[in-house]
């Protein structure tokens, strides 16, 4: 399912154009503060061509990494993924407050290692789920086996371990985003 | 508004000194490596705050570069400690 | 006396102080916890959030400028890179044979 193939023709042109514009906008955003520092007349428009040159080199080297070969329904997955990020940021804040309460002695420390299986199979879904486990209060990913979707997780207490294996809220959310629920 | 930045900078310096205890006394390699990674990320925040204290915004570029390079260094050392070699040939 | 600039400065100070508090909690957890795996919990989560709050505080102090975009890139990069580095260290320790700690063991 994840074999690599050489891109030719229209796919290659599409990916190179998208990578070129993303690199050019990134360069402009990083160097635009310099334009307003100096007085008018000291900033020549010829410096814009440095950005075009650098973006061209980046496109030649890395266009296959940034925009891979077309999957299916990419726009719908992108929209659902953007809506998934604020829930992630809320979980980071909860995770830090949870660890702070364990440092000051308000809750016990009783670690254990658990293993479970999921129905996710593609590279991006497995990576997003592993990142989400590390950012949720009380759990860190140790190992992933991509053939069966099996995760080895270190949990710091019984509460977070049960929230991952018994309730399964996060598996449902990531499965909804990448449309691989089971 | 320079005084709050100086106070926060001193607090982060205290954090680095608390971490260096684990770097000296940690039993084994992995405890020392985790403490070194923490000290590296504190240096990034100190660079940004130093840029605000002396009122020159050029330090943020250096902080961005250093964050990328220190992350790559952490991954390389973790891979070496796991396998005993870097490139399997 | 109660201008918008004073309110923005106070909000930036609140975020900076919160960031410093979480960083000190992460460092105290690194010294206090009884095992290597639990210490990685303390640094991987508390440290990441403390850094993000400090950089968000600097962004609020700056206002709408192009330097805010650069600070946003540093913060967004660290959200993705912090947990990945924590996972890499923990995986290396697990496969080299470091034993985890159960409740009731002596402190290691």
Which strand (E) or helix (H) includes residue A169? Answer: helix A169-178
Task: Report the distance separating Cα C44 and Cα A96, nearest Å.
Answer: 9
Taking chain C (108 residues) in runs of 10, the rounded mean pLDDT of each run is: 87 94 93 90 91 93 87 91 92 88 79
Predicted complex: ipTM over 0.95: no
Mark out chain B residues that contact chain C at CB-CB < 8 A: 1, 4-5, 8, 11-12, 14-15, 18-19, 21-22, 27-28, 30-31, 33-35, 37-38, 41-42, 44-45, 48-49, 52, 57, 60-61, 63-64, 67-68, 71, 74-75, 78-79, 81-82
| B chain contacts of residue C3, beta-carbon cutoff 8 Å | none
Residue C108 covered by a domain: no
What does the mean pLDDT of chain B come to?
Answer: 91
The pLDDT score that the predictor gives to residue A1 is 45
According to DSSP, residue A12 is labeled H
**Burial readout A3-27 (b: 16 or more C-beta within 10 A, e: otherwise):** eeeebeeeeeeebbeebbebbbebb
pLDDT digits (tens, 9 = 90+) for B47-89: 999 999 998 888 999 999 999 999 999 999 999 998 888 777 6
* C-alpha distance from C105 to closest chain A C-alpha (Å): 11
Whole-number percent of chain B with pLDDT over 90: 75
The pLDDT score that the predictor gives to residue C86 is 93
The pLDDT score that the predictor gives to residue C24 is 94
The pLDDT score that the predictor gives to residue B36 is 92
Task: Report the distance separating Cα A22 and Cα A33, nearest Å.
Answer: 18
Contact between C88 and B21 using a beta-carbon 8 Å cutoff: no
C80, closest residue in chain A (CA to CA): A131
The pLDDT score that the predictor gives to residue C13 is 93
Question: Closest by alpha carbon to A144, among B87, C85, C87?
Answer: C87
Burial of A99 (0-12, 13-18, 19+ CB in 10 A): buried
| A chain contacts of residue C84, beta-carbon cutoff 8 Å | 131
Residue partners of A13: CB distance under 8 A and separation at least 6: none
| B chain contacts of residue C31, beta-carbon cutoff 8 Å | 18, 21-22
The pLDDT score that the predictor gives to residue A70 is 65
Q: Nearest Cβ partner of A111 from C37, C48, C73?
A: C37
Structure tokens at A55: 């973006």
Provide the residue ranges of all domains of chain A, joining segments of one domain with +. Answer: 10-66, 74-178
Distance set, CA C98 to CA A92, B54, C54 (Å): 27, 45, 34
The pLDDT score that the predictor gives to residue B8 is 93
Contact between A30 and C73 using a beta-carbon 8 Å cutoff: yes
- Which residues form the domain of C65? 7-96
What does the mean pLDDT of chain C come to?
Answer: 90
Residue C104 covered by a domain: no
Residue C1 covered by a domain: no
The CA radius of gyration of chain B, in Å to the nearest whole number, is: 16
Q: Nearest Cβ partner of C67 from B38, B60, B71?
A: B60
Mean pLDDT of B1-13: 92
Note down pLDDT in tens along chain A; length 182 residues: 455 566 677 778 888 888 899 999 898 888 877 665 554 555 566 778 888 999 999 999 888 877 776 666 677 778 888 888 888 899 899 999 999 999 998 888 888 899 888 888 878 888 888 888 898 888 999 999 988 888 899 998 888 888 777 777 777 777 777 776 53
The pLDDT score that the predictor gives to residue A62 is 86
The pLDDT score that the predictor gives to residue A34 is 67
The pLDDT score that the predictor gives to residue B74 is 94
* C-alpha distance from A142 to closest chain C C-alpha (Å): 5
| A chain contacts of residue C34, beta-carbon cutoff 8 Å | 109
Whole-number percent of chain B with pLDDT over 70: 99
Q: Look up tokens 């470091």; give the residue.
A: C98
The pLDDT score that the predictor gives to residue B13 is 94
The pLDDT score that the predictor gives to residue B57 is 83
Residue C61 covered by a domain: yes
Task: Report the distance separating Cα C26 and Cα A100, nearest Å.
Answer: 8
Contact between C89 and B35 using a beta-carbon 8 Å cutoff: no
The pLDDT score that the predictor gives to residue A148 is 86
Residue C106 covered by a domain: no
Question: Closest by alpha carbon to A93, among B23, C2, C106, C18?
Answer: C18
Q: What is the DSSP string of C74-105?
A: HHHHHHHHHHHHHHHHHHHHHHHTPPP--TTS
Q: Nearest Cβ partner of B60 from C23, C47, C70?
A: C70
């Amino acid at each position: 399912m994840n074999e690599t193939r050489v891109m030719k023709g229209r796919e290659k042109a599409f990916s190179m154009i998208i990578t070129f514009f993303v690199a050019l906008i990134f360069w402009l955003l990083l160097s635009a503060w310099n334009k307003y520092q100096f007085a008018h007349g000291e900033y020549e428009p010829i410096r814009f061509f440095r950005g075009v040159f650098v973006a061209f080199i980046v496109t030649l080297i890395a266009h296959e990494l940034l925009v891979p070969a077309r999957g299916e329904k990419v726009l719908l997955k992108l929209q659902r993924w953007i809506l998934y990020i604020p829930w992630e940021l809320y979980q980071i804040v909860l995770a830090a407050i949870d660890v702070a309460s364990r440092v000051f002695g308000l809750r016990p420390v009783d670690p254990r290692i658990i293993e479970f299986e999921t129905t996710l199979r593609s590279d991006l879904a497995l990576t997003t789920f592993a990142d989400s486990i590390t950012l949720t209060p009380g759990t860190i990913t140790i190992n992933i086996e991509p053939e069966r979707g099996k995760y080895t997780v270190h949990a710091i207490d019984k509460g977070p371990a049960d929230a991952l294996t018994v309730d399964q809220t996060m598996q449902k959310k990531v499965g909804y985003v990448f449309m691989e629920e089971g | 508004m320079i005084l709050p930045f100086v106070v926060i900078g001193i607090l982060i310096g205290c954090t680095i000194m608390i971490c260096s205890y684990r770097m000296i006394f940690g039993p084994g390699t992995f405890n020392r490596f985790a403490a070194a990674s923490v000290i590296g990320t504190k240096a990034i925040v100190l660079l940004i705050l130093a840029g605000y204290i002396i009122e020159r915004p050029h330090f943020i570029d250096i902080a961005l570069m250093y964050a990328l390079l220190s992350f790559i260094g952490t991954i390389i050392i973790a891979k070496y400690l796991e396998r005993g070699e870097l490139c399997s040939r | 006396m109660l201008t918008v600039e004073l309110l923005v400065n106070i909000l930036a100070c609140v975020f900076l102080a919160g960031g410093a508090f979480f960083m000190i909690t992460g460092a105290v957890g690194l010294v206090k916890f009884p095992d290597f795996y639990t210490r990685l919990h303390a640094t991987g989560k508390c440290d990441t959030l403390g850094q993000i709050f400090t950089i968000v505080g600097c962004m609020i102090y700056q206002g709408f400028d192009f330097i805010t975009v650069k600070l946003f890139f540093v913060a967004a990069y660290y959200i993705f890179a912090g947990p990945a580095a924590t996972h890499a260290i923990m995986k290396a320790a697990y496969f080299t044979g470091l034993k985890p700690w159960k409740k009731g063991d002596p402190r290691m």
